[in-house]
Structure 1
Amino acid sequence: MTDAAHRLLWTIIALLLVASGAAALAVSFGVLPGGDPGAVLLGAGLLDRWRLAAPWSTLAAAVAGVLVALSGQRLLDRELRRPGRALRGTLSHPGRRPGRTRLAAEVLAHALERDLTGNPGVRRAQVMLTGAPPRPDVWIRVDMTADAGAAGVREHVHAAVRRFATTADCQPAHLDVTARIEPGRP
Structure 2
Amino acid sequence: MSDAAHRLLWTIVALLLVLGGAAALVVSFGQVPGGDPDAALLGAGLRDAWRLAAPWSTLAAAVTGVLVALAGQRLLSRELRRPGEELRGTLSRRGHHPGRTRLSTEVLAHALERDLTGNPGVRRARVVLTGPPPRPDVWIRMDLTSDARATGVREHVHAAVRRFATTADCQPAHLDVTARIEPARP
TM-score normalised according to structure 2 size:
0.70
Does the C-alpha gap of structure 1 residues 100 and 57 become closer, same or farther in structure 2, counting only changes over 3 Å?
closer
Cα RMSD (Å): 3.7
The 3-state SS of whatever aligns with 2:60 is: helix
Name the amino acid aligned to 1:177: L
The 3-state SS of whatever aligns with 1:165 is: helix
8 Å Cα contact 1:91/1:103 also seen in 2: yes
Instruction: Report the Cα distance in structure 1 between the residues aligned to 2:143 and 2:175, rounded to whole angstroms.
Output: 16
Shift in Å, 1:160:
1.6
Unaligned runs of 5+ in 1: none
Name the amino acid aligned to 1:175: A
Shift in Å, 1:58:
1.6
Instruction: Report the Cα distance in structure 1 between the residues aligned to 2:175 and 2:55, rounded to whole angstroms.
Output: 53
CA deviations over 1:106-157 (Å, ceiling 9, x no partner): 333321122234454574422326545xxx2232222344978887765543
8 Å Cα contact 1:129/1:137 also seen in 2: no
The 3-state SS of whatever aligns with 2:41 is: coil
TM-score normalised according to structure 1 size:
0.70
CA deviations over 1:35-54 (Å, ceiling 9, x no partner): 33332211233223323333
The 3-state SS of whatever aligns with 1:33 is: coil
Shift in Å, 1:24:
2.2
Shift in Å, 1:26:
1.6
8 Å Cα contact 1:121/1:144 also seen in 2: yes
8 Å Cα contact 1:138/1:176 also seen in 2: yes
Instruction: Report the Cα distance in structure 2 between the residues aligned to 1:71 and 1:21, rounded to whole angstroms.
Output: 20
Instruction: Report the Cα distance in structure 1 between the residues aligned to 2:150 and 2:5, rounded to whole angstroms.
Output: 23
8 Å Cα contact 1:105/1:129 also seen in 2: no
Instruction: Report the Cα distance in structure 1 between the residues aligned to 2:18 and 2:140, rounded to whole angstroms.
Output: 34
Instruction: Report the Cα distance in structure 2 between the residues aligned to 1:99 and 1:56, rounded to whole angstroms.
Output: 58
Does the C-alpha gap of structure 1 residues 141 and 48 become closer, same or farther in structure 2, counting only changes over 3 Å?
same
8 Å Cα contact 1:122/1:143 also seen in 2: no
Instruction: Report the Cα distance in structure 1 between the residues aligned to 2:32 and 2:152, rounded to whole angstroms.
Output: 55
Instruction: Report the Cα distance in structure 2 between the residues aligned to 1:25 and 1:42, rounded to whole angstroms.
Output: 16
Shift in Å, 1:4:
1.9
CA deviations over 1:25-84 (Å, ceiling 9, x no partner): 123223342133332211233223323333222212111111111122222233334464
Does the C-alpha gap of structure 1 residues 22 and 99 become closer, same or farther in structure 2, counting only changes over 3 Å?
closer
Name the amino acid aligned to 2:166: T
Aligned length: 177
Instruction: Report the Cα distance in structure 1 between the residues aligned to 2:156 and 2:36, rounded to whole angstroms.
Output: 63
Question: Where does residue 105 of structure 1 map in the other structure?
Answer: 104
8 Å Cα contact 1:90/1:102 also seen in 2: yes
Question: Where does residue 62 of structure 1 map in the other structure?
Answer: 62
Does the C-alpha gap of structure 1 residues 37 and 114 become closer, same or farther in structure 2, counting only changes over 3 Å?
farther
Question: Where does residue 13 of structure 2 map in the other structure?
Answer: 13
